[in-house]
Amino acid sequence: MSATATIDIEPVRTRRSVEASPVDAPDGDAAVLLEELVEEELPFLEGRTGAERTIEIELVGLHLRVAGSLAIGYHRRLSDFVNDHLGLLQLREVTVLRRNGEPTRVHTPSLWASPEEVTLIAQPEAGPPPPVPVEFRIPKVSRTLVVVTPGHTLTGEVHIPTDAELDVFIESPDPRFVPMTDVRTRSLADRRVVARYDFALLNRRHIVAATELQPGMIPGRRVL
C-alpha cells in the first residue's frame, strides 16, 4: 500500500489586511496605494544646490499626480526641453500628491516618469516667461480651448501665429506637448477636485475632444 502525504498550507499573511485599507479611498488614486507602503514618517527632502537650472513642476496623469523639480539644462523654457527630450523624465525631490493636490507621506530623491503617459506637465507658478530674442519672435494670438482628456476636463489659452488656423493647429501632430497658459482642470473621477496652473504642457495623445471656447459657453471662466 502506498502512503498519502498531507501538507498543511498556512494562509498567506499580508502586512496589511483588507480591513485596514481606507474605506473611503477614491478609486484609481495611486497616492493611496503608494502611501500604504510607508511604515513610518519619511524625512522631507532637502533642495539641491548648484548652478543647474531646475523648474518646479507637477506631473498629472489619469491615476498619478506628483510634484518635484526638473533640470532643463541649457533650454530656456520647459516646453523646449520636453518637446526635445527623448525617453523618461527624471524628477528630483519628489512628493506624491493625492488627487486633490494634498501631499502624501511618500517622498523620494528621484523618480523617472514616461512623459507619453502623463496628461499635463505643469507649473503652478510659472512667473514671467524668459525673454525671446528678436530674431525668434513670432506674432501670436491667444485662443481659449476647452479640452476633454481621459481623466480631466480643462480650459486654457493656446498661443498660435497670427495667420494660423486653429483647426490646423489642433490637428497637427507637432509639438507633442501643447503649451497652454492659465490652465484650469477638473477631475472626472471627482468633480470637486479643481486645479489651476499658470503654465502647462498638454499631451496631444491624451486629447479626447477639444473645441474653442464660445462666448457665454462657460460663464465666469469656470471649468466644465
Does residue 222 fall inside a structural domain?
Answer: no
Per the DSSP assignment, residues forming a β-bridge with 121 are: 59, 201
Nearest to residue 116, comparing CAs of 197, 181, 206?
Answer: 206
Domain that holds residue 109: 27-38+52-122
Amino acid code (one letter) for 16: R
Cα–Cα distance for residue pair 90/172, rounded to 1 Å: 27
In a domain, 19, yes or no: no
Residue that has been written with the C-alpha cell 477636485 in this structure: 193
Query: Does residue 9 fall inside a structural domain?
Result: no
Report the number of distinct structural domains present in the chain: 2
Do both 94 and 140 map to the same domain? Answer: no
What whole-number distance in Å separates Cα of residue 210 and Cα of residue 12?
A: 49
CATH number at residue 32: 2.30.30
CATH code, domain carrying 143: 2.30.30.100
Report the DSSP pairing between strands 140-148 and 54-60: unpaired
pLDDT at 7: 43
CA 216 vs. chain centroid, Å, equals 29
For residues 32 and 115, membership in a common domain is answered with yes
Boundary (domain end) residue, out of 97, 122, 147: 122
Q: Evaluate the omega torsion of the peptide bond into residue 215 and state whether it is cis, within 30 degrees of 0.
A: no
Q: Which pLDDT belongs to residue 128?
A: 73
Q: Is position 8 within any domain?
A: no
Same domain, residue pair 206 and 159: yes
Specify the residue for cell string 486629447: 207
d(CA 137, CA 159): 13
HSE toward the beta carbon, residue 61, CA cutoff 13 A: 17
Residue 128 lies inside a defined structural domain of this protein: no
Show which of 98, 122, 146 is a domain's final residue. Answer: 122
Please write down the HEC assignment for all residues of 127-165: CCCCCCCHHHCCCEEEEEEEEECCCEEEEEEEEEECCCC
**Whether 111 and 193 share a structural domain:** no
Distance CA 99, CA 60 (A): 9
211/155 same-domain check: yes
Please check whether residues 66 and 98 belong to one and the same domain. Answer: yes
In degrees and rounded to multiples of 5, residue 20 shows phi and psi of -80, -15
17 residue type, one letter: S
Same domain, 115 and 144: no
Q: Please indicate, yes or no, whether residues 143 and 211 belong to a single structural domain of this protein.
A: yes
Does 68 share its domain with 118?
yes
**Residue 131 belongs to a domain:** no
CA distance 218 to 206: 22
Q: What is the pLDDT along the chain (224 residues), one digit of tens a residue?
A: 445 444 444 444 333 333 334 445 556 788 777 777 776 666 655 554 445 689 999 999 998 999 999 999 888 889 989 998 989 999 999 999 999 999 999 999 999 999 999 999 999 988 776 676 776 678 889 999 999 999 999 999 999 989 889 999 999 998 999 999 999 999 999 999 999 999 999 999 999 999 998 877 765 556 66
d(CA 52, CA 72): 8
Query: 139 and 162 in contact (C-beta within 8 Å)?
Result: yes
Question: Do 210 and 178 fall into the same domain?
Answer: yes
Whether residue 15 lies inside any domain: the answer is no
pLDDT confidence of residue 70? 96
Q: How far is CA 200 from the centre of its chain?
A: 9
The residue out of 87, 122, 157 marking a domain boundary is: 122
Shared domain for 34 and 115, answered yes or no, is yes
Does 16 fall in a domain? Answer: no
